[in-house]
Amino acid sequence: MPSSTKLPRRISLTQYLVEQQREHGRIQPPLRLLIEVVARACKRIAIAVNKGALGDVLGSTDQSNVQGEVVKKLDVIANEVLVEANEWGGHLAAMASEEMDSIHVVPNRYPQGEFLLLFDPLDGSSNIDVNVSIGTIFSVLRKVGHGRGVSEEDFLQPGKHQAAAGYCVYGPQTTLVLTVGDGVAMFTLDRETGSWVLTEDQVKIPQDTREFAINMSNMRHWAEPVRRYIDECLAGQEGPRGGDFNMRWVASMVADVHRILTRGGIFLYPWDKRDPGKPGKLRLLYEANPMAMLVEQAGGMASNGAQRILDIVPTRLHERASVILGSRNEVERVTSYHRG
């Protein structure tokens, strides 16, 4: 008997989205288009990232952004790619980005859609020049009011209203991780065919973990509950947890969250005493919220210590948040220390 010539069934991002639309009624064509456009933009960013020094994309510009951080060349490139790709398709009303002070309304010459797109164009900027994994994070909201007008207020919705969220990690592989509210799916970029191939569906984060991620250099600034949690982990076998813990800190939230979605773990970027008026370092609308939605969709938990991240009602576009997310039982433990 000749061996079968049947090709292995490969599901593309397009097919996944069509099935989400057709079989599950989860998404409508404009949202499908939006996600495909974002995924295409990420492909372009991945190409720029891979070129590195050959593409003159490394290093900084002489500008700083609205958060007072030095802007890297790749921050600007990624931002431009995402804005240009998304403004003409008719699926969006406006965009917001870590690298833009205020919202970018779709120009009048293009039709206006019902969605709002928010992104961190390049996450992990300090890792660009040292060839460590970086990424793009995005969040999709529905514009609540009708009519053509759109303002910053339209973006100030709690994360639980996100229609979709995801990130792309530019690492040894380029992986797009997506949720449209029906679990979490991972797509790997096949560079030979240029398509995103479904490589993991219904991702689940283990409930328990023995691995934490936090920037330990800030230890002296932490609040008591975080200090207690990490001290107990560090005490290992002889301590109250009765076991040894491992630590990882990539300093790219995308890479740390990707590890947690893959094998479990807990990630903390908590409030600290350095700047007590600031809730944390990470931005709520385009870092904490999309990651919280992905983590919850994968069975994990995401909290700021006092409440579920997805319930926080934002008051400003570039608002920050304290972030504790990952394996459910560990996040639950840290939040219980905050209650105590």
Q: Which residues contact 170 (CB under 8 A, 6 or more apart)?
A: 45, 46, 49, 50, 133, 134, 135, 136
* Least distance to ligand AHG, CB of residue 126, Å: 6
Identify which range of 13-21, 66-74, 113-121, 332-340 contacts Mn ion by CB under 5 A: 113-121
252 binds, among Mn ion, ligand AHG, none (CB under 5 to 8 A by kind): ligand AHG
User: Which positions from 121 through 160 interact with Mn ion, judged by CB under 5 A?
Assistant: 122-123
Residue 126 or residue 151: which is nearer to ligand AHG going by CB?
Answer: 126
Identify which range of 24-32, 123-131, 176-184, 186-194 contacts ligand AHG by CB under 6 A: 123-131
Instruction: Select from 74, 116, 123, 187 the one that contacts ligand AHG (CB under 6 A).
Output: 123
Binding pattern for the stretch 16-55 against ligand AHG, x by CB under 6 A and - elsewhere: ----------------------------------------
DSSP, res 209 = -
Q: b vs e for 256-276, b when ≥16 Cβ sit within 10 Å of the residue's Cβ? A: bbbbbbeebbbbbbbbbeeee
8 A C-beta contact, residue 30 and residue 114: yes
H/E element, 269: strand 266-269
> What type of residue is 122?
L
Task: Give dist(CA 284, CA 319) in Å, integer.
Answer: 6
* Least distance to ligand AHG, CB of residue 245, Å: 19
* Least distance to Mn ion, CB of residue 237, Å: 35
Go through the chain and tell me how many residues it has: 340
114 binds, among ligand AHG, Mn ion, none (CB under 5 to 8 A by kind): none
8 A C-beta contact, residue 269 and residue 304: no
Residue 112 or residue 209: which is nearer to ligand AHG going by CB?
Answer: 209
Total residues at the site for ligand AHG (CB under 6 A)? 13
Using CB under 6 A as the binding rule, whether residue 120 contacts ligand AHG is answered as: yes
Task: Give dist(CA 103, CA 259) in Å, integer.
Answer: 31
Instruction: State both tokens at 297.
Output: 């969709």
135 binds, among Mn ion, ligand AHG, none (CB under 5 to 8 A by kind): none
User: Which positions from 199 through 228 interact with ligand AHG, judged by CB under 6 A?
Assistant: 215
H-only helix segments in 60-192 = 73-86
By DSSP bridging, strand 195-200 and strand 185-190 are antiparallel
Tokens 């934002």, residue located? 314
Task: Give dist(CA 167, CA 288) in Å, integer.
Answer: 12
Instruction: Select from 124, 166, 270, 280 the one that contacts ligand AHG (CB under 6 A).
Output: 124
Task: Give the angle 41-43-48 at the CA atoms, nearest 5°.
Answer: 95
Using CB under 6 A as the binding rule, whether residue 87 contacts ligand AHG is answered as: no
User: Which positions from 256 through 295 interact with ligand AHG, judged by CB under 6 A?
Assistant: 269, 281
Instruction: Select from 98, 211, 296, 330 the one that contacts Mn ion (CB under 5 A).
Output: 98
Instruction: State both tokens at 261.
Output: 């979605």
Using CB under 5 A as the binding rule, whether residue 256 contacts Mn ion is answered as: no
Task: Give dist(CA 188, CA 34) in Å, integer.
Answer: 19
Using CB under 5 A as the binding rule, whether residue 296 contacts Mn ion is answered as: no
Residue nearest Mn ion by beta-carbon distance: 123
Beta bridge partners of 297: none
Binding site residues, ligand AHG, CB under 6 A? 69, 98, 120, 123-126, 215, 251-253, 269, 281
Q: Give the footprint of Mn ion on this chain (CB under 5 A).
A: 98, 120, 122-123
